Amino acid sequence: MHEFLIFTISGLATAGIYAITASGLTLTYTTTGIFNWSHGAIGMIAAFAYWQMRVGWGWPTVASILICLLVLAPLLGIAMEAGVMRRLEGTSEASKLVVTLALALSFLGIAQWVWNPTTYRAIPPLFSGHTLVLGPVRISYNDLTVLIVALVVAIGLRLLLYRTRLGVTMRATVDDRTLTALNGSSSVANARAAWVIGCMLAALAGILVAPTLTLSATALTLLIVSAYAASVIGRLRSIPMTFVGAIILGLAVSYSVAYLPQNPYVQGFGGSVPAVVLFIALLALPQSRLRGHRLLRSRELALRPSWRGTAIFGVCVIAGTVMLAMVVSSSDLFSLNRVWGLAIIGLSLIPLVGFAGRLSLCQMTFAGIGAAVVGHVGAHGNPLSLLAAAGVCAVVGLVVALPALRLSGIYFALSTAAFAVAMDAWVFPLPPFDLFGHQFAPFGSGSLVFAPFRVGGAVLSGKEAQFIAGSVAFVLLCLIVVAVRRSGFGQRLMALKDSPAACATLGMNARASTLAVFALSAALAGIGGGLYGESLGSAAPDVFQFFTGLSILLVMVVVGISSLGAGVAAGLFLGGPTLANFFPSLSQLSSVLVGAAGTGVGTTPNGTIPSGLRPVWSSVVKRRWLLGAFVVIVVGVWALRLSGVIDNWTMTWIDLAAVFGMPGIAYTVDYRAGTAQPAFGLPDRRVVVVDEASARGQAGPPVDTPAGDSANPVVVPAGSPGRGT
Amino acid sequence: MGLEVTDVSVHFGGLAALSDVSLEAPDGSITGLIGPNGAGKTTLFNVIMGMQRPVGGTVRLGGRDLRGLSPHRRARLGLGRTFQRLELFGTLTVRENLAVAASMGQRRFSRADTVHPQALAESLLDHLGLASVAEVRADALPTGTGRLVELGRAMAVKPTVLLLDEPASGQDSEETTRFASVLRGLADDGLAVLLVEHDMELVMGVCRQVVVLDYGRVLFTGDPAAVQQDPDVQQAYLGSLSGAPDG
């Protein structure tokens, strides 16, 4: 009984922290409609800032806390609202999710960059050493403070939402944004207030939770999972219910620590309790009704890839790989080898996210399962183990997706995140156990060793051979993805993304189609994971952690989630010898960069390839001489490199210059000939649109004269279809 | 047999959106469903299609009770609908919109003598005068044309009962005329059509029976000529004192 009381009190203290985080999350979600994945990361940043002031610089506790809460958090909230969130109005739920994920990754990258994660940091608890003795139980002042603060937050939020003008308009915004605006309330001001309060609550939770954890950026960022669990129990609307959810969760976590048997198989389960509660809470949500929605004019491009184009792409990929394999050093090759596994994991997102519009945050988990299968089944180097990996992942994918299918987009994504976090915390680090009479451990004792594949008697142990084989595997899987897109199934997936309601009225079983594409995507990720493991030689479970998967998703979305080339980009960016080689001190730069690019997704939902690279390169491809020149440059530079005249970096820079220079040349030629399309959707500055009436009367000034335009203006009457040249 | 709706009621909170609504849409004829905005027409469509669970009442298709069946199962039994707010596959072209639907229909009626889905899509493009926009993305279409694509898409799965929710709104008079003849053609082929429409000229021109809904109740059922004479209907539409016509 005594023990029970102690764990109840510590559970309630944990619940207080969850409640503060989750109520901030619910508040921003209800007022702005944005599911903020970076909420935990904000708390994390605040905790580190607090550590810096309190421990790093030795400032007084109260001053440090006040600066964090009343200066840093509100400033962050204002900056986020103005810089990122405001631009998300009217974008799809998926874009919002990706943007806030990107923000979370940026914060994580910045924190790990500024505060080296290998250094041990701890924050002393508040009122260290003081305890309150209540009968048989002793409560630390720290826990007591948390409980009191949580209570104050609960009462404060209630008063704010029901007794103040700001609170009432904030609640009104939830009901009807337009109507609130018509009543003279500024939705921008409401949103700003929501973000400021949200950031303050996140910071408060971060500061309060920090003494109980060693300061770890990832662990603090993952507080978001617990917050979501509590918020989902509150149906993302009700703050009192969110508090109830937090109490359930806090007690569950505390009792799992206390009463789960002390054995290595269940221990990890304790860490995954928030994820499991989140999953269960999601499944208990009411069924989202199938209803029609107004057709938003989608800005999305959905090009149907041709076989010819895919073949050219595949040949270029393999040829480029062979050329690269012949010139790079063996140490670079070791790192480059990882590219294809990661590229295939990226590719696995294309059918699911690009075609079907469903988000999965657990692709890296499927990759981990695939790697485990290949490591065990392919212990003697049998490449067919990749097929086994695909099969196992497809089945696991079905099992994960089946209960979550009834959830609509954003909740579905959350459930995949819960799965990923639970696998990371519990299943992947499991010690060896007996299964069907075989001793089995997902990642052996610590890390799993991969045997090189044997193909027809030859062992693919050379790094060059592995690198080239990886590119061939990638291209083969690209062909499968293109075949899916071109098939009736692919068309049905696209239709399902556009209008689930209409699909149902045509007799389409949306669940079956979604299950099928989820299984396909999981299978592809499993193959990618297997190849990734092969390229690493040995892999520990943390290689396949949740956040790595998020980075892949972000790169894919930034570059173009429906483009095969995005897979290559994801592989190169996350696996290739990149910026870290250049600037070893900036090893976190890539995740910060991905994050920063991701926050721009709201304005360019299609990605770089479809809306940037493809349009500008199409004018190069039209001119055979220019295309020929490009090939000559690339091959010529490669020959120079082979003969040792130039080094790898020179080759890379010249090739990059060619990739970006050719479209420039093509554009200049077009421009001289007067047939250039406006670049990047900007109005052509040489064209001055003149109101037709004033042009006839020769009187009115040009309607639209770009200032400082030095080129000869070409006067075109308004309404003229083109340049007329 | 067609479609039979018996005593269907739907409540939204305390509001009775539909109270004991009964109607029949027999095979081979067009039945009009009219009423002021908010009368419950779209709610009734949602109930028939299985997108809204009624608190009571039955829906029968060709004599078969549809209770408990999901929308896609109902569609496979021969029920088709269009939406008041367009539900096109926006990222696909018009041709692809029809082809997706035709391939769904073919899976249902996989008989040797069925037309190839692609051929069916082509013939629908011609039939509805959509050939000129076949390669246009559906989300770039004007509303009137979009409605024709939705109709074509619904026709491509070869339903036996077709629910049309304000299919002529957003169409010009020329499009409406073509549309009326397409509708008559459907009825001549034996389909039961239930038509929600505010264009009275169209309703009176093509419907054999008209059902008037008001505040979730059936106000009147009869032939078009009788509807226009009915005082209750006139009051519902024009208001007793100074209410403006609502639609």
Q: Which of A505, A509, A606 to mutate to test the interface with B (most CBs of B within 10 A)?
A: A505
- pLDDT at residue A660, rounded to an integer: 85
The span from the CA of A148 to the CA of A362, in Å, is 37
Asked whether residue A712 carries a pLDDT value surpassing 70, the answer given is no
Are B104 and A492 in contact (CB < 8 Å)? yes
Portion of chain A with pLDDT greater than 90, in percent = 32
Contact A277, A229 (CB under 8 A): yes
- Is the domain of A659 the same as that of A691? no
* In-domain check, residue A607: no
Same-domain check for residues A227 and A319: no
| Percent of chain B predicted with pLDDT > 70 | 93
Could you say which of A529, A549, A569 is where a domain stops?
A549
Question: Chain A contacts of B46, Cβ < 8 Å?
Answer: 291
In contact, A26 and A182? CB cutoff 8 Å: no
Give A524-565 pLDDT, tens digit per residue. 999 999 999 998 888 888 889 888 898 899 888 888 888 899
Residue B1 pLDDT class (50, 70, 90 cuts):
confident
pLDDT value of position A73:
95
Q: Is residue A266 part of a domain?
A: no
Task: Of A346-350, A594-598, B221-225, give the lowest mean pLDDT range.
Answer: A594-598
Check residue A678 and give its pLDDT. Answer: 54
> Partners of A140 in the beta sheet?
A131
Q: Tell me how far CA of residue A240 lies from CA of A43, A152, A198, A234, in angstroms.
A: 21, 13, 16, 7
Q: For all residues of chain B together, what is the average pLDDT?
A: 87
Are residues B71 and A290, on separate chains, in Cβ contact within 8 Å? yes
Give the range among A217-231, A240-254, A393-407, A671-685 with minimum mean pLDDT.
A671-685
| Closest CA–CA distance from residue A492 to any residue of chain B (Å) | 6
B76 in contact with A, Cβ within 8 Å: yes
Query: By the 8 A CB rule, do A298 and A479 touch?
Result: no
Owning domain of residue A653:
617-680
A428: its two tokens? 């992947």
- The pLDDT score that the predictor gives to residue A586 is 55
Interface membership of B88 toward A (CB under 8 Å): yes
- A493 closest CA partner among A520, A466, A455: A520
- At A374 the pLDDT is 92
Question: A365 and A424 in contact (C-beta within 8 Å)?
Answer: yes
C-beta separation of B186 from B164 below 8 A: no
Structure tokens of A560?
């173009």
Least confident of A89-98, A161-170, B78-87: A89-98
CA distance A300 to chain B (A): 7
Tell if the CB–CB gap between B86 and A506 is shorter than 8 Å: no
**Would you state the pLDDT for residue A581?**
57
- Where would I find the beta strands (DSSP E) of A349-472? 433-435, 438-440, 448-449, 454-455, 458-459
Determine, yes or no, domain membership for A289.
Answer: no
For residue range A356-368, what is the model confidence (pLDDT) as tens digits? 888 899 999 999 9
Tens digit of each residue's pLDDT (9 = 90 or more) over A663-686: 888 888 887 777 665 554 444 444
| Digit-coded pLDDT (tens) for B194-215 | 999 988 889 999 999 999 998 8
CB contact under 8 A, A502 and B88: yes
How close B101 comes to chain A (CA, Å)? 6
Which of helix, strand or coil describes residue A250?
helix
Which residues fall within 8 angstroms of residue A171, CB to CB, at 6 or more apart? Answer: A30, A161
**Domain-embedded: residue A576:** no
B153 in Cβ contact with B98 (< 8 Å): yes
| Top-confidence range, A178-187, A448-457, A465-474, B109-118 | A465-474
Mean pLDDT score, A70-99: 85
Highest-scoring range by mean pLDDT, A118-132, A700-714, B4-18: B4-18
Residue B5 pLDDT: 94
In the predicted structure, residue B8 carries a pLDDT above the cut 90: yes
Sign of the Cα torsion B40, B45, B46, B52 reads positive
A498:B91 CB<8 A: yes
Model confidence over A406-462: pLDDT tens digits? 787 778 888 999 999 999 888 888 887 776 666 677 777 678 888 888 887 778 778
Give domain status of residue A591, yes or no.
no
The fraction of chain A above a pLDDT of 70, given in percent, is 85
Instruction: Report yes or no: A598 and A554 within 8 Å, Cβ to Cβ.
Output: yes
What are the beta bridge partners of residue A455?
Answer: A458
Whether residues A692 and A638 share a domain: the answer is no
**B24 and B39 in contact (C-beta within 8 Å)?**
no
Tokens at residue A70, please?
């009343």
Looking at the complex, does the CB of residue B182 fall below 8 Å from at least one CB of chain A? no
Residue A295 to residue B88, Cβ atoms within 8 A = yes
* B153:A506 CB<8 A: yes
Return the biggest CA–CA distance within chain A.
Answer: 96
- Token output for A306: 């041709």
- Give the minimum alpha-carbon distance from B116 to chain A in angstroms, rounded to a whole number: 13
Residues in B touching A289 (Cβ below 8 Å): 51-52
Domains (range + CATH), chain B: 3-86+159-238 (3.40.50.300)
Token pair of A463 as six digits: 């790094």
The DSSP annotation for chain B comes to --EEEEEEEEEETTEEEEEEEEEEE-TTEEEEEE-STTSSHHHHHHHHHTSS--SEEEEEETTEE-TT--HHHHHHTTEEE--SS----TTSBHHHHHHHHHHHHHHHT--TTSPPHHHHHHHHHHHTT-GGGTTSBGGGS-HHHHHHHHHHHHHHT--SEEEEESTTTT--HHHHHHHHHHHHHHHHTT-EEEEE-S-HHHHHHH-SEEEEEETTEEEEEE-HHHHHH-HHHHHHHH-SSSPPP--
Write down which residue in A522, A549, A576 finishes a domain.
A549
Domain match, A208 and A350 both: no
Q: Higher model confidence: residue A253 or residue B105?
A: A253
Residues A656 and A700 in one domain: no
Question: Residue A692: pLDDT above 70?
Answer: no
Query: Taking chain B, what is the end-to-end CA distance rounded to the nearest angstrom?
Result: 31
pLDDT of residue A302: 64
- At residue A343, the 3 state secondary structure works out as helix
Q: pLDDT class for A175, splitting at 50, 70, 90? A: low
| Residue A401 belongs to some domain of the structure | yes
- Nearest Cβ partner of A297 from B92, B100, B139? B139
Quote the minimal CA–CA distance from B135 to chain A in Å.
12
The mean predicted confidence, pLDDT, of chain A is: 82
**Rounded to whole angstroms, how far apart are CA atoms A371 and A359?**
22
Q: Report d(CA B21, CA B155) in Å as an integer.
A: 27
CA A384 → CA A58, A89, A455, A527, distances in Å?
59, 48, 10, 10
- A413 lies in the same domain as A510: yes
Same domain, A114 and A255: yes
Structure confidence at residue A707 (pLDDT): 39
What is the sign, positive or negative, of the torsion defined by CA atoms of A59, A62, A67, A69?
Answer: positive
What pLDDT sits at residue A682? Answer: 42
From first CA to last CA, the distance across chain A in angstroms is 90
Dist CA A364 CA B226 (whole Å): 67
Cβ-based contacts of A494 with chain B (< 8 Å): 89, 91-92
* Helix H or strand E encompassing A138: strand A137-140
Q: Where are the alpha helices (DSSP H) in A210-295?
A: 217-221, 223-233, 239-259, 264-271, 273-283
Partners of residue B107 in chain A, C-beta under 8 Å: 507
For A500, the closest chain B residue by CA position comes to B87
Query: Given an 8 Å threshold on Cβ–Cβ distance, is B76 in contact with A298?
Result: no
Cβ <8 Å between B72 and A507: yes
Same domain, yes or no: A17 and A110: yes
- Does A290 sit within 8 Å of B104, measured CB to CB? no
Taking the CA atoms of residue A432, residue A437, residue A438 and residue A442 in that order, the dihedral angle to the nearest 10 degrees is -40
Q: What is the 3-state secondary structure (H, E, C) of B176-233?
A: HHHHHHHHHHHHHCCCEEEEECCCHHHHHHHCCEEEEEECCEEEEEECHHHHHHCHHH
Contact A100, A41 (CB under 8 A): no
Distances (CA, A) of A685 to A705, A706, A714: 9, 7, 10
CA–CA gap between residue A442 and residue A451 (Å, rounded): 16
Answer yes or no: is A581 within a domain. no
pLDDT at residue number A719:
41
DSSP symbols for A484-506: HHHSHHHHHHHHHHH-HHHHHHT
| Cβ(B39)–Cβ(B45) below 8 Å | no
Among residues 12-71 of chain B, which lie with CB inside 8 Å of chain A?
46, 49, 51-52, 70-71
Confidence tier at A186 by pLDDT (50, 70, 90) = confident
Å from A498 to nearest chain B CA? Answer: 5
Residue A547's pLDDT is 86
| Among A307-316, A588-597, A642-651, the least confident range | A588-597
Q: What mean pLDDT comes out for the span B171-192?
A: 90
Using DSSP's 3-state secondary structure scheme, residue A198 falls into helix
Domain co-membership, A639 together with A711 = no
The alpha-carbon gap from A500 to the nearest alpha carbon of chain B, in Å, equals 9
**pLDDT digits over A277-306, tens only?**
888 888 887 765 554 443 344 455 667 788
Q: How far apart are CA A276 and CA A261, in angstroms?
A: 18
Helix (H, G, I), strand (E, B) or coil at A622: helix
SS3 A378: coil
In a domain, A286, yes or no: no
Nearest CA in chain B to A492: B100
Q: How confident is the model at residue A710 (pLDDT cuts 50, 70, 90)?
A: very low
Measured between CA atoms, the residue of chain B closest to residue A493 is: B100
More confident call, B108 vs A402: A402
- The count of C-alpha atoms lying within 13 angstroms of the C-alpha of A137, restricted to the half-sphere facing its C-beta, is 16
Same domain, A209 and A340: no
Average pLDDT over residues A638-665: 88
Collect all residues with Cβ–Cβ distance below 8 Å to A400 and sequence separation of at least 6: A362, A415, A416, A419, A518, A522
Contact criterion met (CB below 8 Å) for A245 and A233: yes
For A411-427, letters b (16+ CB in 10 Å) and e give bbbbbbbbbbbbbbbbb
Residue type, B132: S
- For A31-68, write each residue's pLDDT tens digit: 888 888 899 999 999 999 999 999 999 999 999 999 99
Q: How confident is the model at residue A134 (pLDDT cuts 50, 70, 90)?
A: confident
Amino acid code (one letter) for A101: L
Q: How far is B229 from chain A (nearest CA, A)?
A: 35
Cβ contact A295–B101 (<8 Å): no
B-chain residues within 8 Å CB-CB of A405? none
Q: pLDDT: is A337 or A363 the higher one? A: A363
Residues A239 and A348 in one domain: no
Q: Do B88 and A302 touch (CB under 8 A)?
A: no
Which domain-ending residue is among A523, A549, A575?
Answer: A549
Q: Give the integer Cα–Cα distance in Å for A183 and A198.
A: 25
Confidence check: pLDDT of A622 > 60: yes
Q: Do B83 and A297 lie within an 8 Å CB cutoff?
A: no
Chain A residues with beta carbon closer than 8 angstroms to that of B97: 495
Q: Do B96 and A290 touch (CB under 8 A)?
A: no
Min Cα separation A350/chain B (Å): 16
CA-to-CA dists, residue B161 to A137, B107, B110, B165, B213, angstroms: 71, 18, 19, 13, 20
Residues A123 and A194 both lie in one domain: yes
* Inter-chain Cβ pairs, chain A and chain B, closer than 8 A: 108
Band (pLDDT 50/70/90 cuts) for residue A584 is low
Q: Which residues contact B247 (CB under 8 A, 6 or more apart)?
A: B36, B37, B198
Number of domains in chain A: 4
